[in-house]
A and B are shown apart, each in its own frame.
Chain A
Amino acid sequence: MNDNCELRGCGIAVSIDGQTILDGVDISVRSGEVVGLLGPNGAGKTTLLRTLAGVLAPSHGEVRIDGVDAAGLTSLHRARRVAYLAQGAQVDWPLSVASVVALGRVPHMGYFASPSRSDEDAVTRAMQRTKISGLARRCIGTLSGGERMRVLVARLLAVEAAILLADEPVAALDPFYQLEFMDLFAEQAAQGKGVVLVLHDLALAARYCHRLVLLDAGSMVAQGTPAEVLTDELLASVYGIEALTGTFENSRYVLPWRRNRD
């Protein structure tokens, strides 16, 4: 199931009501990679991720999945290749944990068909991976923030797509959960998935991502390895901050320290 895959956005531009949100951004992710999407609030990270997920159609440019223009794919085909976890993902009804995870199988089922054996297996695997098998019958509304995120990530994994896109998956979680989910995404990449994460935490981005794409005001200002992107100059010009940087256990760390503008 972990064949080689590639998701590529070429010259993605998005305007909404005449306002340019993204202006010709190129981004790509392939098997085995975790790509971090960084940038200040309002830089266009979420818009870019939504475009890659097919939730939003670009005004210009195209999204290519395994070299094929995604606009030509059926929505179900696309949904099986690319899974997307929206920011602050909502659940509207008090569904059980198992039901929420099972919704990840929607792209694999017809209009009326009931879940097949492989659907049930995928749900079980996803729940085991996120350690929520014991919560299967619990109502989603009764869970803590961290447990809830485990359920939503299990829903993402249950799609068993080659590409995983997640918008701020570790925001509002305690450090233990943050590391847990970053480890999980790293493991998914190691198993052959392509992962794109929108992140605000520069330290996690530096540690876990193979490549970073830095957006500012709708344009890409840098991309490359964490060492190439998280430089003092770029942090100052894009985020307006100074950061402590260094190396520990062969990993780079970045600690935002002070603002250098008001």
Chain B
Amino acid sequence: MLIAWLCAITVLLLMVSIAVGHATLSVFDTLLEILRGEESVSTVVLTQLRMPRTLLAMLVGASLGLSGAAMQGLLRNPLAEPGIIGVSGCAALGAVLVFYSGLALIVPMALPLGGIAGAVIAVVLLYLLAGSKAGTLTIILAGVAINAFAGALTSLVLNLSSSPFAFLEIIFWQMGSLADRSMDHVALSSPLMLVGWWMILSTARGLDALSLGEETAVSLGVNLNRIRLFVIGGTALAVGSAVAVSGVIGFVGLVVPHLLRPVVGYHPGRLLPVSAIGGAVLVLAADIAVRVIPTGTELKIGVLTAIVGAPFFIYLVRRLRRELT
């Protein structure tokens, strides 16, 4: 029932997202033109600007929501978010290095590839630091260390960048945006995301059992190392490729599972698919909002999610505090 509602909202937002933008066009007429095989400014706008943008918003949002839910389930902490293990920080660093080296200007696809490489390195580092049998706290601490180091290196790159143009590019990219992305971005990121989604979704039952603690989960036949590997690896693939194509979009992975958890009776497993759709809804809506809100330069989506997300999160924390006392 809930999934049906969320899907309906997704479809609605999808249509709005296709219809809204700088250029005013009739979606219906343009679709007819595409069907007739004609090419006009409208068809180009639709197929090469709005379609990839809309698809990426869904893919990125689903990745963030799903990974956030899985990470909260694995660490059994409602404040965990997908970036906690360092994948977003390292993916951003990888992309920034591509900017800095100038490779981004020569090969456009080097940017997302750099981001994905960064995310993979983050997971390797995490396993080297925390070991394959690490407990929750070790994973969080290793993630904090990796995040801090990635942040420091990103600052170093900014510090050393001689061209103010590159500097601005990097800063803007980090804010997160889905504008001016092509179908190439979709083609590059979606296979990796799908593999990541499959890995994460396969841990649903294990995450349910984990609510009774690690010992009990193991006694129920859950392979803890596999669950960890699949949640962390799946998050690296999904969020790593999301950051690689969109930059850093915060708060989605934190807030979406948090909001939807009571609706699924707090089941960590059932929360996974619902959070994926919820994340897609939120990022689609945010990406429509940045196009509609009349600011001089288009708002960056990461800035919007943070501005709306942070106060909302404070509200959630206050509500949680009331429930606990």
| Residues of A93-129 whose CB lies within 8 A of B | 93-96, 99-100, 103-104, 106-107, 109-112
Contact (Cβ within 8 A) B219 A79: yes
Write out, one digit per residue, whether chain B residues 206-221 have a CB within 8 A of any chain A CB (1) or not (0): 0011111101101111
A46's nearest neighbour on chain B, judged by CB, is: B215
A75–chain B nearest beta-carbon distance, Å: 4
A75 to B265, CA, bound (A): 28
Stretch at the interface among A58-66, A84-92, A193-201, A228-236: A84-92
> What is the interface of chain A mostly: helix, strand, loop, or mixed?
mixed
Contact (Cβ within 8 A) A82 B266: no
Contact (Cβ within 8 A) B266 A95: yes
Q: Is B268 an interface residue (CB 8 A)?
A: yes
Q: Is A45 an interface residue (CB 8 A)?
A: no
Given that A91-B211, A103-B211, A103-B212 are contacting pairs, would A111 and B205 also be in contact in the complex, using a CB cutoff of 8 Å?
A: yes
Write out, one digit per residue, whether chain A residues 67-82 have a CB within 8 A of any chain B CB (1) or not (0): 0000000111111101
Given that A90-B213, A93-B268 are contacting pairs, would A103 and B208 also be in contact in the complex, using a CB cutoff of 8 Å?
A: yes
* A–B complex contacts, Cβ < 8 Å, 16 sampled: A55-B218, A76-B221, A84-B215, A85-B216, A89-B213, A90-B212, A92-B210, A92-B213, A93-B261, A95-B211, A96-B266, A103-B209, A103-B212, A110-B205, A112-B204, A159-B220
| Residues of B197-243 whose CB lies within 8 A of A | 201-202, 204-205, 208-213, 215-216, 218-223
Chain B residues in contact with chain A, CB under 8 A? 76, 201-202, 204-205, 208-213, 215-216, 218-223, 261, 265-268
> What is the interface of chain B mostly: helix, strand, loop, or mixed?
loop
Pick the most buried of A54, A79, A83, A100: most chain B CB atoms within 10 A of its CB.
Answer: A79
B102–chain A nearest beta-carbon distance, Å: 46
A104 to B223, CA, bound (A): 16
B263–chain A nearest beta-carbon distance, Å: 13
